[in-house]
Chains A and B, each alone.
Chain A
């Protein structure tokens, strides 16, 4: 079992662990804080993410719906597979 950690540091959301139905509320809370800064990009560093399914993805999509550019850094292979299967990879800036 991987421990989920979601921190906001210097304007970057750093996520680690499994992003699924258990951790989605934490992710939503962190992204909501980031989204309050009008006009700013929402940057998410996924280097520590060990798994993400559509429940985690839904929170990322929610962040884009406010008109923010959502930048994903250090995207793991499994997350890239998910983004492409869901057909939403073009909605994010993959850094």
Chain B
């Protein structure tokens, strides 16, 4: 059983933020010995961060990755509560009607996700069950992405 946690501070909250968040999640999961969760976890953190970026601006954020047993939790926290405001202001139904696929993907893959106040701002989080990660049904014709 893995029990571990890691935090990264990300100062560039522009179009490079999703990539920076993915790289941190990717590297952390590899270090935890959880490479099989990288593809889904990278995707979900990218969706959450991109959704907030498209809606507005914030200058700084933290990404936390923690694992307790078979549960992976990723949190994105910003000191201004901007992230949480963006996500919670647009309920899923509205997002889907507006053509947003990102949060649908999060909702489909995650065991749970949401927004909540934090000591240092607000947090958007998702949790993945490491024992039931999405597996594609399509027949494989291409390469499996190998960890960098």
Contact = CB atoms under 8 A, between A and B. Distances in A.
Q: Do A and B come from one complex?
A: yes
Interface of A: 1-2, 18, 20-22, 46-47, 50-51, 53-55, 57-58, 73-89, 94-95
B141 to A, nearest CB: 6
Q: Which of B99, B104, B142 has the most CB of A within 10 A?
A: B142
B138 A21 contact: no
Nearest to A88: B101
Contact of B136 (A21, A50, A84): A84
Nearest to B18: A20
B22 interface: yes
Contacts of B135: 81
B105 A86 contact: yes
Contact of A84 (B102, B138, B144): B138
Contacts of A79: 142
A95 B139 CA distance: 10
Q: Which of B18, B22, B109 has the most CB of A within 10 A?
A: B18
Interface in B7-65: 15-16, 18-19, 22-23, 39-40, 42-43, 46-47, 50, 53-54
Contacts of A82: 43, 105
Given A1-B19, A77-B39, A81-B134, A54 B145 contact: no
20 contacts: A1-B19, A18-B22, A22-B16, A53-B18, A53-B46, A53-B102, A54-B100, A55-B102, A77-B142, A78-B145, A80-B136, A80-B138, A80-B140, A81-B109, A82-B43, A83-B138, A84-B137, A85-B109, A86-B104, A87-B104
B17 to A, nearest CB: 9
